[in-house]
Amino acid sequence: MSMIITSPIRGWAATLDSVPDPVFAQRMMGDGVAIQPLGDTVVAPFDGEVVTLHDAGHAISLRSAEGAEVLIHIGLDTVMLKGKGFTPLVAIGDKVSRGDPLIRFDLDAVALAATSLITPVIVTNTEAFAISRRTVDCAIGACEALMTLVPVQAEARRRSDDGTIVEQAVTLALPHGIHARPAARIGETARGFEAEVHLMNGDKRGDARSTVALLALGTAFGDEVVVQTRGNDAEAALAAIVALLASDMGEGAPAATPVAAIAVQILRTGQIGGVIASPGLAMGPAARLRQAEIPVARDGKDAAEERAALLAARGDVRGQIAGRADSADGSIAAVMHAHLALIDDPELLAGAEKRMAEGRSAGFAWRGAIHDQIDAIRATGNAHLIERIDDLVDIERQLLSALTGTPIEGAAVPAGALVVADDLLPSQLVSLAAAKPAGICLARGGPTSHVAILCAGMGLPALVAMGDALGGVEDGVPLLLDAEMGHVTVAPSPANIDAFTARLAKRAARREAAQSAAKDACQTADGTRIEIFANIGTVDDAVLAAAQGAEGSGLVRSEFLFLDRDTAPSEDEQHAAYQGIADALAGKPVIIRLLDIGGDKPAAYIPIAHEENPALGQRGIRVALAHPALLKTQLRAILRVQPVGQCKIMIPMIASIDELRQVRALVDRLRGEMGIATPVEVGVMVETPAAAMTADLLAAEADFLSIGTNDLTQYVLAMDRGNPAVAAGVDAMHPAVLRMIGEACRLATARGRWVGVCGGLASDPAALPILVGLGVTELSAVPGFVAEAKQIVRGLTLIEARAHAELALQCKSATEVRALARAFEETRR
C-alpha cells in the first residue's frame, strides 16, 4: 500500500541535489525532497506521531501509522541558533493529523542567521520505504502532495553472531549533541560494519543505523553515551563509533576548546576575565557546582494521582519560598515573590494539566509546561526577558526536587569558597548563601540577571559571562576574585596573594569605618559637598536606603510599578507608592524617574509594534509622550505627594530639548489644574550621546541632569547592554564614556546646574574618584554601597580627583582605566 506525504510548508520544491550540504545532497540521512520555504509554519505531512523534536526547535521527525519516518530539517546549520527564532508547537509523543502546525519560525530572522533556509524533508528509514513519485522543480503549497512512498521488503541481514556484547562509555564531544548531521555520520559509519550497533543515553537506547533513533536519544554536549556492539566485527565497530563520538565531527565549539587549550590560556595569562555583576574582592578555593537534570518518568500512573502529587509539591515549594521571602528584604524578597507567582501561574498550570490529562507524569508535565514558556520567551528575542528564563528553570528544578525527593545541589559548598559554575539559579544562590561562600564566578549569566541583582543585594562579589575558560578551573584550586577589575586569578603566586590580602584588609577597614559614619553628611577632604543617594524601586528599598545613610533617592525606577501586570497602575496606586517612598526617606529628596518602558522593559498593555532595534526605538520618554493619558496620570500621582517639592521629576532617554519642554509644559499645566503653587523640579537623564553633547542646552531649561551610565555606555559603544556576546566590552570605564561624562559635566555646570550619576558606575568603587574629578556632585548607588561611597569620597581631595580623572581620560581602554584606578587606590593606603 502506498502512502502520500504532503508538503510541510509552502515554497519551492527541489531535488536534494540542490541542497548545499553533502549530508543531505548525498542522501546520508535518507532520500527525499528539499523545499525553499515561503511560509513560516511547518505542518504535519501525514497523520502520525512526533518522534523527535530537537531542543533547538529546528528539526522534527514523525512516524506514520504505516511506519514511515520523516525528518523535516528547517534550514542549514540552524542548530547553531540554539532555538532562537523557532517556536515548537508540539512535543515528542504528540499525535498529529496532516496539516497540524508543528513548528513556527521567524522566517526573516532565521534567513539572516542561517547558512540557508532550504528545508530537506527526508524519509529516514529508506530500508523500509522507497519513494515512487516526488514533486520537484515547482511551487508547492502546504499539504499538497510531495512524495509517494511504497514499502520495500527489507533485506534480511545475515550475521555471524556469537552473542557477545561489547560496550564502552564515551563522553560526547559534539557541541550540540547528536543532531541530524552527526546522526547521519554515525549511521553511515555503523552501516560499514556487520555488527549491530546501539547507543544508550541514560535509559534510552537507539539503533545507530537509525537517524530518528539517534535523535530520540536527546543527547547534549558532555553526556556520557554508552556504545554497545554485538556481532562478528563488534570490536572494530565499537572502536570506530567511539572515536567518532569522542571527536567534534568538525563542528567546533565547546569540545573543540579542549581543557588542554584552556589550561594553556590560564597558564599564560593567569587570569580569566568576566563582567562585574556585583563589585568586591574575594579569595578562596574554587568550589565547582555541576548540575544534573532531575530525571522524571514520561508517563504517569493516573491523572488524579499525578494532579495530587503536583498540588502537594507546589504546596511544599510555596512554603519553602515564602519562608525565604519572610527572612529577606529588598531585592531578594522581590525575587522570591516573583517565584511565588510562578508556582501559581495559570499558563504553567494549564500546560501541566493538559499533559497530565494526556497521561503524562506530574514531573514530565511540569517540565513541559515550563519549557513551553521558555520557548515562547526565547522566541521574543528580548534579552531582558531571556535573562528571566533562569527564574523559570529555577522553579522547574525546585518543583521537580520536591516531587522526586532529589536534593537541589548547592548547600555543600564550603564556607569561604568561590563558587564556580556554568550558571546559577536564583534559588540555588539563596541556598548557597547560607553556606557563606566568598564570591561567585559564572561562565554564563548576564550583569542584569536576577542572580546578579541578588549578589549585589547580598554584597557577594560576582563575575558573570566568564566564558568557557572557567571550565578549566579545577575544584579546590585557589582563586583571587577581583570584581573591581573584572577578572579571576587562578592559582596565584605568593606575591599575588600578599598584594590581594592587603587590598582585602584595606577594603574591610574602609567598610567598617564607612558603617560607623554611614549617617554623616558627605564631602571631600577639601570640603566639596557630594550627595550620596540611593537607587530604589520599592518602599522596602527606600527603608533599606535610609538605614544605610542615603541622603535621598537619585533614581526611583517607577517602571517597576508598571511591569509584570496586565494593566497600568491607577493614579491612586501610584500615589500611594510614591508617598510611601517619600515618607520612608523622611523629607529627603526623591527623584522619581518617569515611566521608562520599551527597549528591554516591555509592558504588555503598552503595545509597541515589532521593532528591528528596540534599544533605538520606542522607549523612555518617547513612549510616555506617545501615551499622554499614561504620562498625565503618573505626573498627577507624583504632584499629589506631600510635602510638595520633595519629589522631583526626572525624564528618561532624552534625545532633544523638545521632549523636556513637552513634559515641563504638562507639569505646569497640571500644577495649575491642581492648584499647586510650589515649583516642582524637572530634570533629565543623560543616557544618549545627544543629551551629553547638548548638556548646555538641556541645562538651560532643566533643573538638574543625572547620567544613566548603563544606557549611555551601550549607546556610546554601540554594544547592547543585554547581549551576552558583547557583555565583556560593555564597561562604563571606557575612555569614550568617561569623556562623554566629562563633557556633559563641563557643559551643564557652566550653566549652573548640578550633574549626578545614577547608572551602575556610581556603585563601582573604582569609578568614584574619577566621577568626582569629572565634576559629578551627586551619586545615586545601590543601597548597600551608600556608606562605602561616602567613605571613599571623604578620602579624596577635589584637586587629586581632578588630576586622576584627567589621566583616566587619556587612557586607551577600559582595562587601562581600571589599572589606573587600582594604582590610585594603592596610593591611599
Stretch that binds ligand PEP, among 165-173, 373-381, 661-669, 709-717 (CB under 6 A): 709-717
Quote the least distance from Cβ 448 to ligand PEP, whole Å.
8
797 contact, one of Mg ion, ligand PEP, none, CB 5-8 Å limit per kind: none
Element (H, E) at 42: strand 41-43
Q: For the chain, how many helices (H) and strands (E)?
A: 28, 34
* Out of 557, 588, 640, 790, the residue judged to bind ligand PEP by CB under 6 A: 557
* Out of 30, 177, 461, 708, the residue judged to bind ligand PEP by CB under 6 A: 708
Please give the C-alpha separations between residue 152 and each of 33, 48, 124, 131, 208, in angstroms, as whole numbers.
Answer: 19, 20, 13, 10, 21
Quote the least distance from Cβ 710 to Mg ion, whole Å.
5
Element (H, E) at 502: helix 494-516
CA atoms within 13 A on the CB side of 416: 5
Beta strands 531-536 and 778-781, pairing class: parallel
Sites for ligand PEP among residues 748-787 (CB under 6 A):
758-759
Stretch that binds ligand PEP, among 380-388, 546-554, 573-581, 705-713 (CB under 6 A): 705-713
Residue of 346, 221, 371, 224 whose CA lies nearest to 296: 371
Quote the least distance from Cβ 708 to ligand PEP, whole Å.
3
Geometric angle at alpha carbon 634, from 625 and 340, rounded to 5°: 110
Residue 687 near ligand PEP by CB under 6 A: yes
Quote the least distance from Cβ 743 to ligand PEP, whole Å.
17
Residue 482 near ligand PEP by CB under 6 A: no
Stretch that binds ligand PEP, among 48-56, 342-350, 475-483, 702-710 (CB under 6 A): 702-710
Residue 382 near ligand PEP by CB under 6 A: no
Build a one-symbol-per-residue string for 588-607: x at contacts with ligand PEP by CB under 6 A, - elsewhere.
--------x-----------
Distance CA 105, CA 87 (A): 6
Quote the least distance from Cβ 63 to Mg ion, whole Å.
51
SS3 category, 223: coil
Q: Is the CB of 37 or the CB of 708 nearer to ligand PEP?
A: 708
Distance CA 339, CA 353 (A): 20
Q: Is the CB of 221 or the CB of 560 nearer to ligand PEP?
A: 560
DSSP states of 580-602 = HHHHHTTTS-EEEEP---BTTB-
Quote the least distance from Cβ 137 to Mg ion, whole Å.
54
Q: Is the CB of 348 or the CB of 782 nearer to ligand PEP?
A: 782
DSSP states of 517-538 = TTTS--B-TT--B-EEEEEESS
Beta strands 281-289 and 478-482, pairing class: antiparallel
Catalytic residue among 450, 575, 734, 804: 450
The alpha carbon of residue 813 and the mean position of all alpha carbons in its chain are separated, in whole angstroms, by 26
Q: Is the CB of 466 or the CB of 716 nearer to ligand PEP?
A: 716
Build a one-symbol-per-residue string for 630-669: x at contacts with ligand PEP by CB under 6 A, - elsewhere.
----------------------------------------
Are 183 and 211 in contact, with CB atoms under 8 Å apart? yes
Q: Is the CB of 555 or the CB of 660 nearer to ligand PEP?
A: 555
Please give the C-alpha separations between residue 603 and each of 311, 561, 567, 608, 635, in angstroms, as whole numbers.
Answer: 30, 11, 9, 9, 19
Stretch that binds ligand PEP, among 186-194, 518-526, 706-714, 766-774 (CB under 6 A): 706-714
Catalytic residue among 58, 758, 804, 811: 758
Residue of 671, 91, 26 whose CA lies nearest to 375: 91
* Out of 579, 709, 749, 791, the residue judged to bind ligand PEP by CB under 6 A: 709
Please classify residue 341 by burial: count the beta carbons closer than 10 Å to its beta carbon, then call 0-12 exposed, 13-18 middle and 19+ buried.
Answer: exposed
Q: Is the CB of 33 or the CB of 550 nearer to ligand PEP?
A: 550
Q: Is the CB of 531 or the CB of 596 nearer to ligand PEP?
A: 596
Sites for ligand PEP among residues 179-208 (CB under 6 A):
none
Are 745 and 705 in contact, with CB atoms under 8 Å apart? no
Quote the least distance from Cβ 592 to ligand PEP, whole Å.
13
How big is the site for ligand PEP, counted in residues (CB under 6 A)?
10
Distance CA 741, CA 441 (A): 30
Quote the least distance from Cβ 692 to Mg ion, whole Å.
13
709 contact, one of ligand PEP, Mg ion, none, CB 5-8 Å limit per kind: ligand PEP
524 contact, one of ligand PEP, Mg ion, none, CB 5-8 Å limit per kind: none
Q: Is the CB of 483 or the CB of 758 nearer to ligand PEP?
A: 758
Quote the least distance from Cβ 550 to Mg ion, whole Å.
20
Residue of 410, 302, 300 whose CA lies nearest to 366: 300
69 contact, one of Mg ion, ligand PEP, none, CB 5-8 Å limit per kind: none
557 contact, one of ligand PEP, Mg ion, none, CB 5-8 Å limit per kind: ligand PEP
Q: Which amino acid is at 484?
A: E
Q: Which amino acid is at 548?
A: Q
Please give the C-alpha separations between residue 730 and each of 60, 486, 779, in angstroms, as whole numbers.
Answer: 38, 12, 20
The binding site for Mg ion (CB under 5 A) comprises: 687, 708, 711
Quote the least distance from Cβ 597 to ligand PEP, whole Å.
11
Is 758 labeled as catalytic in the residue annotation?
yes
Residue of 485, 483, 443, 493 whose CA lies nearest to 459: 483
Residue of 647, 450, 680 whose CA lies nearest to 564: 450
Give every CB contact of residue 215 below 8 A, 6+ residues apart in sequence: 51, 52, 54, 59, 61, 71, 178, 179, 180, 183
Stretch that binds ligand PEP, among 133-141, 196-204, 385-393, 708-716 (CB under 6 A): 708-716
Are 488 and 479 in contact, with CB atoms under 8 Å apart? yes
* Out of 710, 723, 797, 813, the residue judged to bind ligand PEP by CB under 6 A: 710
Quote the least distance from Cβ 711 to Mg ion, whole Å.
4
Distance CA 81, CA 9 (A): 20
Q: Is the CB of 759 or the CB of 775 nearer to ligand PEP?
A: 759
Q: Is the CB of 105 or the CB of 715 nearer to Mg ion?
A: 715
Backbone angles phi, psi at 94, to 5 degrees: -65, 140
Residue 538 near ligand PEP by CB under 6 A: no
Q: Which residues bind ligand PEP (CB under 6 A)?
A: 555, 557, 596, 687, 708-711, 758-759
Which residues are the active-site residues? 450, 758
